[in-house]
Amino acid sequence: MCAHVMAMAVQKLFPDAKVTIGPWIDNGFYYDFDMEPLTDRDLMRIKKEMDRIISRNLPLKCEEVSRVEAVERIKAINEPYKMELLDAIKEDTITIYHIGNEWWDLCAGPHVDSTGNINKKAVELESVAGAYWRGDENKQMLQRIYGTAWETEEQLKAYLHFKEEAKRRDHRRLGQDLDLFSIQEDAGGGLVFWHPKGAIVRHIIEDSWKKMHMQHGYDLLYTPHVAKADLWKISGHLDFYKENMYDQIKIEDELYQLRPMNCPYHILVYKRKRHSYRDFPIRVAELGTVYRYELSGSLHGLFRVRGFTQDDAHIFCLEDQIKEEIRGVLDLTEEILLKFGFNKYEVNLSTRPDKAVGSDDIWQKATDALRDALDDKGWDYQIDEGGGAFYGPKIDLKIEDALGRKWQCSTVQASITAQNS
């Protein structure tokens, strides 16, 4: 509801602004507008207009119209983005919500009865940013206004205090203040430079990681940063992951690829010789630097980068060893996370996506193995339908930081390969 009030306020102050979408997000909402760039002063004007709309206690009315009627109404107010959104709605009956008799938008609802139900003292407009329509860099750049809304003023104050704490603990700020790392635009966005102090911290972490893995029966690997492009075709990454890979490099009439992940390399090491069943399980691990193409607008400190070092391991084992090995990985993951003070997790079991390789039987066996290991571990978990990788299901762990925020961290994937006897 607050998003609608904000959009109404914007169009009252800026009549030429075109509305797009205004969804709820964690702790608030946003709305995208096709309009001139906004300033912080503009946000203050918009908030004052929102307060006036709220104080007028305008009724919220739901109306159902035919698709034909909706098209005519959108044409009458010249809202091209609404027309595009309408085209994506499959139903023939379209739901519209009115604020009094002055403003309306396409919306499924539900909403409160009137604008007076909103506590204007518990609403805050936070920031404005640029955002491409539909997230496509080839489409129109829009103005995105972020806001937050709560039931009480006390809740809003608590949230704003939380945000201040988050800013104070922001790793980008700490990295600069403590001289740990930097991202040098002269070298390119998303590429991290570790300074001497940061390098020492990283060395201590990596050394601990290596010791723990060797204690759990892993052998360490070091593999190249590039490989022939055909390797990524064989692995399937060129078919399923190409948009996140850098362009290929031509070297002496052969095409090479910066590695986006370590998996094919570890498989090559495994394939270098024949193995007896007595050799299994074979556990290998590497701190491997990978390179992934990310849009410049999505880069964010150390969280979204174009080059990073990934703690990566692969276990080659017999089918009857899978559950025990997965359980071992979960135990090792927990041991490492606890060492850094992380003891709260959100666990998801991600199943087969629409775009995948392998038979249903193999996928079911791999999924069952992950589920059995989780049940044996005793962790609560949720099913993320269709969230698996193209080559296998996975367990995803989200850790909780000191401010209660959740971050995707560890992943345990399973892939079963049929072998001829």
Say whether both 175 and 270 belong to one domain. Answer: yes
- Clarify whether residues 11 and 90 are in a common domain: yes
CB 230 within 8 A of CB 202: no
What DSSP state is assigned to residue 355? S
Beta carbons of 316 and 270 less than 8 angstroms apart: yes
145 and 226 share a domain? no
β-bridge pairing 219-220 and 103-106: unpaired
| Domain end call among 129, 154, 179 | 154
Q: Are residues 193 and 85 in the same domain?
A: no
Tell me, yes or no, whether 213 lies in a domain: yes
Q: Give the C-alpha separation, 54 to 116, whole Å.
A: 5
Same domain assignment for residues 125 and 246? no
Q: Is residue 362 part of a domain?
A: yes
The last residue of one of the domains, among 278, 310, 342, is 310
**Rounded CA gap, 244 and 227, in Å?**
16
The number of domains in the chain is 3
According to the model, what pLDDT value does residue 421 have? 37
pLDDT of residue 418: 55
Amino acid at 145: I
- Do 174 and 295 belong to one domain? yes
Q: At residue 334, what is the residue type?
A: E
8 Å CB contact between 246 and 293:
yes
Tokens 């362009």 label which residue? 247
pTM: 0.74
Domain containing residue 380: CATH number: 3.30.360
Output the pLDDT for position 420: 45
Its domain, for residue 365, covers 317-421
Tell me: do 254 and 298 sit in the same domain.
yes
Is residue 160 a part of any domain in this protein?
Answer: no
Q: Is there a single domain that holds both residue 26 and residue 120?
A: yes
Residue 419: the pLDDT is 55
Q: Are residues 68 and 124 in the same domain?
A: yes
Does residue 161 lie within any of the structural domains?
no
Does 53 fall in a domain?
Answer: yes
Phi and psi (nearest 5°) for 136? -105, 120
Let me know whether 281 and 377 are in one domain: no
Q: State CA 190 to chain mean position distance.
A: 16
Rg (CA), the chain: 26
Residue 20 sits in the same domain as residue 67 = yes
Nearest to 34 by CA among 147, 135, 133, 137: 133
Q: Which of 310, 339, 368 is the last residue of a domain?
A: 310
> For the residues of 372-407, what is the DSSP string, one character each?
HHHHHHT---EEETT-SBTTB-EEEEEEE-TTS-EE
| 164 belongs to a structural domain | no
What local confidence, expressed as pLDDT, does residue 135 receive?
80
CA distance between the termini of the chain: 63
Residue 238 lies in a domain: yes
Q: Are residues 194 and 283 in the same domain?
A: yes
Residue 132's CATH number: 3.30.980.10
**374 within domain boundaries:** yes
Q: 28-34 and 141-149 as β-strands: parallel, antiparallel, unpaired?
A: antiparallel
The tens place of each residue's pLDDT in the chain, 421 residues long, gives: 788 999 999 999 999 999 998 888 878 899 999 999 999 999 999 999 999 999 999 988 888 889 889 889 899 998 999 899 888 888 888 888 899 888 888 887 767 788 888 999 999 999 999 988 988 888 999 999 999 999 999 999 999 998 898 889 899 999 999 999 999 989 999 999 999 999 999 999 999 999 999 999 999 999 999 999 999 899 888 888 888 899 999 999 999 999 999 999 999 999 999 999 999 999 999 999 999 999 887 888 998 899 999 999 999 999 899 999 999 999 999 999 999 999 888 999 999 998 888 888 889 999 999 999 999 999 999 999 998 988 889 999 999 887 778 888 999 999 877 554 3
**Relative orientation angle of helices 196-215 and 322-339, to the nearest 10 degrees:** 140
Which residue matches tokens 């102050």?
13
